[in-house]
Chain A
Amino acid sequence: MDWSSILGNTARAAIGLETVIYALAAIGLNVQFGYAGLLNFGQAAFVAVGAYGIAVTVTVLGLPFWLGVVVGLVAAVLLAVLLGIPTLRLRADYLAIATIAAAEIVRLTVRSATLRDQTGGSSGLSGFAEGFYDLSPFTPGQSYGFGPWVFGARLAWILLVGWVLVAVCCLVVFLLMRSPWGRVLKGIREDEDAVRSLGKNVYAYKMQALVIGGVIGALAGFVFGVGRASVQPDLYGTELTFFVYTVLLLGGAARVLGPVVGAAIFWVALVLIENVLVQAVGAGYVPDWLMSSTQVGQVRFMLVGLALMLLMIFRPQGIFGDRRELAIDAR
């Protein structure tokens, strides 16, 4: 077994493209679910709206890249407002139902045959990312980084931008959540009627949280679309949302750095297990009747699932969570 390759891949996964995407999506969800208690089960829709915002604007309309970013952000705001208006006055579960349905509607709409010319149907769109890579200060063909973290010019550029976005979003969340505004949000999570009785417009705060979380989700979509230089509708299914929830709970909800640490752990675990299994099957340590190399992809999710279960049993508050808070929750 080639341990240096396994460890190298694992180390790169800790700051890789998937980690950035899931960290951003989870930071957005943290604002909604972690701080405001909003059950948004449609974070995949916000990610999709960001990615398709750029893709459609650039490839179909032929407009510049930066305009695609603006379109993606505006679309995320509109989606949040559209979802929020009918559901935020109702009980929390209505938002959950509406968002999970909306996410599927978004996915099925962009993959529909009728809109093939606009959104590319089930095969999606590509060739919209060059405007972004043209801005890169890195020379194509060169490698950048140190130690195990050496990336090609294109990946290095999107990772740099991605991590800057993560840092900015974390800073914004930190500044917001230590403010009286953040306190109102946390109050709403605990009991919105109590907050209402103290003269706060709960509906407006919930809407603001939904919009901010959705916009950060759209940023994840930018990195997702541009990083792969293509968009495919089936990458924005419900499992994306559930992985984002996993990442958030893993790191610890309502903690500024929780989503970032959660995303890194999630992808490190996934990549490590996959690499070890592939090598073990290849070297014949795992007998054929137990697992073939094509089954590794499924088995790694089983093992990650098992690891997550153990983590939730022995550290239910997540990596950064406060056990004191959880004890209160259980009353």
Chain B
Amino acid sequence: MPADENRPDLTDLDEGTPHGGGGSHPAIAPGPGPRALAAREVLRDVPRVPGAPKPDPVLVADGVVRRFGGLTAVDVQHVEFQRGAITALIGPNGAGKTTFFNLLTGFDRPDEGSWTFEGRSLARVPAHRVARRGMVRTFQLTKALSRLTVIENMRLGATGQVGERLLSAMFRRVWRGQEDSNTRRADELLRRFKLDAKREDFAGSLSGGQRKLLEMARALMTEPRLVMLDEPMAGVNPALTQSLLGHVKDLREQGMTVVFVEHDMDMVRDISDWVVVMAQGTVVAEGPPDAVMADPAVIDAYLGGHHDAPLTEEDEAEQIAAAEAELEREHDQEVGR
């Protein structure tokens, strides 16, 4: 939707956010907030090995395996996610990140394995119950509910609504109060995400970046304690990236835990406290962003191991020599005939 990105109304969305000078909100304040410092402090002494135990894990997965026919898409031995931190889940295409996400949030069922959220098992718990327990997710391909207005999208996010039960739905008196308070909360979030001007528009008329913002704001309506973001930056106009980053950091400042899948390494370095690297379905490395990105195992995972590794000069000379010898041999055979 490149045409949409150029729409003039996008400008009021970006105003003030990219350089952190604009608002009074903590999301926009420059530098790491108190919770970011705390999270990094806590994670400093965690060993940098796959499956490392965390001081206060909120989400723990054990032996989670998912096979599609003969292909093992996910085979995670053990991984823990620290409460109150932003953890990035990175890895090359096809590493199983999104599949792992789907398994953890109940959108797919693993062949084996168990995992707990806040100490309670989530194995075989359906997706909607996972969300009700306080673990909400967003999707790689944004799922704005196109033919609902922005505010209706937001209201839908609120949990425990009396008016969503069939028998009480027909009687407005029963749910009106709750609806009003949900609407107030929704309006507050829309202001924070600078979508309040779009309140009555159909969600389908928003630009790609605005949909990402709406999806995140809508997820927050469920009052989650753990937010799982699947590629929050995919398809987002660079001008909106900073604003989105600010919002993600803001979640941590409000005491939420964030786990996100991302390809953009600058973003990973910028906002994550901890990075878990997946390749071919398994966790191959974890640690703080800078340490992980220097890890040879991670570079191998991204560049496809030794097969495509850049040649050293000696190797190159050797290979050229071998090729020339081969050519010469062929030439000799031709002549000899």
Mark interface residues in A72-105 (1 if CB within 8 Å of B CB, else 0). 0000000000000000000000000000000000
- Also in contact, A201 and B169, with CB within 8 A (given A180-B155, A186-B147, A325-B147): no
Is A190 engaged at the interface, CB distance under 8 Å to the other chain?
A: yes
Q: Which residues of B contact A175 (CB under 8 A)?
A: 169-170, 172
A183 to chain B, nearest CB (A): 6
Is B148 engaged at the interface, CB distance under 8 Å to the other chain?
A: yes
- Also in contact, A199 and B131, with CB within 8 A (given A180-B164, A193-B107, A328-B204): yes
Bound Cα distance from A178 to B152, whole angstroms: 11
Bound Cα distance from A180 to B164, whole angstroms: 5
Q: Which residues of B contact A181 (CB under 8 A)?
A: 163-166, 169
Is A197 engaged at the interface, CB distance under 8 Å to the other chain?
A: yes
Q: Are A195 and B156 in contact (CB under 8 A)?
A: yes
**What is the size category of the interface that chain A forms with chain B?**
20 to 34
Is B247 engaged at the interface, CB distance under 8 Å to the other chain?
A: no
A44 to chain B, nearest CB (A): 25
Is B302 engaged at the interface, CB distance under 8 Å to the other chain?
A: no
Bound Cα distance from A175 to B144, whole angstroms: 25
Bound Cα distance from A277 to B267, whole angstroms: 71
Q: Are A186 and B204 in contact (CB under 8 A)?
A: no
Q: Are B136 and A197 in contact (CB under 8 A)?
A: yes
Q: Are B132 and A199 in contact (CB under 8 A)?
A: yes
Mark interface residues in A169-194 (1 if CB within 8 Å of B CB, else 0). 00010011011111110110111011
A13 to chain B, nearest CB (A): 33
Total B residues in contact with A, Cβ cutoff 8 Å: 42
Q: Are B146 and A199 in contact (CB under 8 A)?
A: no
Bound Cα distance from A189 to B156, whole angstroms: 13
Contact of B107 among A172, A196, A329 (CB under 8 A): A196
Q: Which residues of A contact B159 (CB under 8 A)?
A: 198-199
Is B175 engaged at the interface, CB distance under 8 Å to the other chain?
A: yes
Give the nearest-CB partner of A195 in chain B.
B156
Query: In B118-170, which residues have CB < 8 Å from any A CB?
Result: 126-129, 131-132, 136-139, 143-148, 152, 155-157, 159, 161-166, 169-170
Is A208 engaged at the interface, CB distance under 8 Å to the other chain?
A: yes
Extra inter-chain contacts (14) besides given A187-B148, A328-B205, CB under 8 Å: A172-B170, A175-B172, A179-B164, A179-B169, A182-B169, A183-B155, A190-B146, A193-B107, A197-B105, A198-B131, A199-B222, A325-B202, A328-B146, A329-B146
Residues of A bordering B, CB below 8 Å: 172, 175-176, 178-184, 186-187, 189-191, 193-202, 208, 324-325, 328-329, 331
Residues of B bordering A, CB below 8 Å: 105, 107, 126-129, 131-132, 136-139, 143-148, 152, 155-157, 159, 161-166, 169-170, 172, 175, 179, 202, 204-205, 215, 218-219, 221-222
Q: For the complex of A and B, list the 10 residue pairs with the smallest distance between their C-beta atoms, beginning with the closest.
A: A328-B204, A180-B163, A181-B169, A194-B143, A199-B131, A179-B169, A190-B145, A175-B170, A199-B132, A180-B164
A-B contact pairs, 7 of them (CB 8 A): A180-B162, A181-B166, A184-B156, A187-B148, A190-B147, A193-B127, A198-B136
